[in-house]
Chains A and B, each alone.
Chain A
């Protein structure tokens, strides 16, 4: 079974600073990888996904993530954080199971942005 580790429960960055959120996964084959963002009281919004091909993936809102097979990682990055990026971020791994994707989420990283 697949699993996801997000080692940082809470991160605080200054507005304008760069951001990197860590994600490590465990899965026996090539995984499908996702980053979702959740604002308070909202559902999850997909930021970006990796299915195959280029290991550097661009997403919405200026986010990118890099799939590193050797490190089993899929870290999320943004060069300059905006106050509106304050939210909770979830890394997830999807595995084919009977023709559909069974997605396992990490515990989440809560991002605080200070002026």
Chain B
């Protein structure tokens, strides 16, 4: 596609619910990243995929966060048993391996 797309754009979840956030990277981009951006902060790295392999998940804040990219294209970030501190914008980015990253519009998650 023309750019990175993410869905849904907005998600409201009650505390304790599970959510799934989807990212469609730019076609052909090997690398895919997830970031979490809290209000008033810069994006913070969550995890990195090279094709279908998750090579770095050092930024995932807890074991409630899980990401996958089974076919090396679309990726899903799943958050189980959501907590209020999970409220943030979740950004996905893709790149041609080690070059600059292109970002999607983000999913704004609000946990009530």
Contacts and interface: CB of A to CB of B under 8 A. Distances in A.
Interface of A: 4, 34, 36, 41-46, 49, 90, 92, 96-108
Contacts of B55: 98, 100
A44 B98 contact: no
A34 B104 CA distance: 17
Nearest to A105: B42
Given A42-B105, A43-B103, A100 B45 contact: no
Interface string B94-106: 0101111111111
Q: In terms of DSSP, what is the predominant structure of the interface of chain A? A: strand
B106 A99 contact: no
Q: Which 3 A-B pairs have the closest CB atoms?
A: A105-B42, A43-B103, A44-B103
B98 A98 contact: no
A97 B101 contact: no
Contact of A104 (B40, B45, B105): B45
A100 B31 contact: yes
Contacts of B98: 96, 99-101
12 contacts: A36-B103, A44-B91, A46-B100, A100-B48, A100-B56, A101-B95, A101-B99, A103-B33, A105-B42, A106-B42, A108-B41, A108-B42
A101 B105 contact: no
B105 A43 contact: yes
A109 B106 CA distance: 19
A43 B106 contact: yes
B72 interface: no
Given A43-B104, A43-B105, A46-B102, A102 B45 contact: yes
